[in-house]
Amino acid sequence: MRLKRLVPVVTLVAAQLALSCVQAAEQTTPLDRYLDGLHSLRASFSQTMTDAQGHETDRSSGEFLVLRPGRFRWEVRPSSGGSGQLLVADGKNLWFFDKDLQQVTVKPMSAALPATPAMLLSGTGDVRRSFDVSDDGKRDGLDWVRVVPRSADADFRDALLGFSGHELRRMILKDKLGETATLIFERAERNASVAAAEVSFTPPADTDVIGVPAK
């Protein structure tokens, strides 16, 4: 199912959006201004997925929490049925829970490849070291930033981030097969109250766990 393969890519890309260390020599973009002073985020979103020919393949909705540095929770509920997926970064490990399969995959955050979007909203590292970031103009009432991974090993080809002032409103992600995920962020509350328990994860007792978490 395409949704299950693309959800981790989308969520991992979203994970890079809270990186804070931007080199002063680089041109300031709406992404830089968005990151400045960002401590936490609570938002809901809708997501539309299309194939390489532009045909819609799925719709979903979800919730997104960030607690910097190093922690986030991204939950997706497909409108086509099924229980959905959950991705949690707890500061040490990255947990992916496929509720339909009752399967959990865990990977230490330190083992995530720096050239993939695995660290975007985790608040660690330097976004400019792993990505080319450039201003992409203004259209549809939003200021756009293009993010392109420097490494050929990255899980996505490029991402467009649309901002309105200091708020992230839209994200358009293209993978290597030409499939596109478009996310519209709704009811986003910047620097909202986010408890540590909300960005923690313990595998349910009846699930299969793949991988070994860092202690």
Q: Are 88 and 95 in contact (CB under 8 A)?
A: yes
Has residue 112 been placed in a domain? yes
- Is 0.85 topped by the overall pTM? no
Provide the number of structural domains found in the chain: 1
- Residue 23: the pLDDT is 41
CB atoms within 10 A of CB 20: 17
Q: Is residue 77 domain-resident?
A: yes
Please provide the DSSP assignment of 164-213 as one string. Answer: ETTEEEEEEEE-TTS-EEEEEEEEEEET----GGGG-----TTSEEES--
136 lies in some domain: yes
Judge whether 52 lies within some domain.
yes
Work out the burial of residue 208: count CB atoms within 10 Å of its CB; fewer than 13 is exposed, 13-18 middle, 19 or more buried.
exposed
Residue 149 within any structural domain of the chain = yes
Residue 215 included in any domain: no
pLDDT at 117: 46
Task: Give the torsion sign (CA, 94, 98, 99, 104).
Answer: negative
Q: What is the mean pLDDT of each run of 10 residues along the chain (215 residues)?
A: 53 53 60 86 93 93 89 88 88 92 91 54 66 92 91 80 91 90 90 95 94 91
Return the sign of the alpha-carbon dihedral for residues 205, 195, 117, 215: negative
pLDDT of residue 17: 55
CATH number of the CATH domain containing 142: 2.50.20.10
Domain span including residue 31? 2-210
Is residue 94 assigned to a domain? yes
- The pLDDT assigned to 170 comes to 93
pLDDT at 68: 87
46: in domain: yes
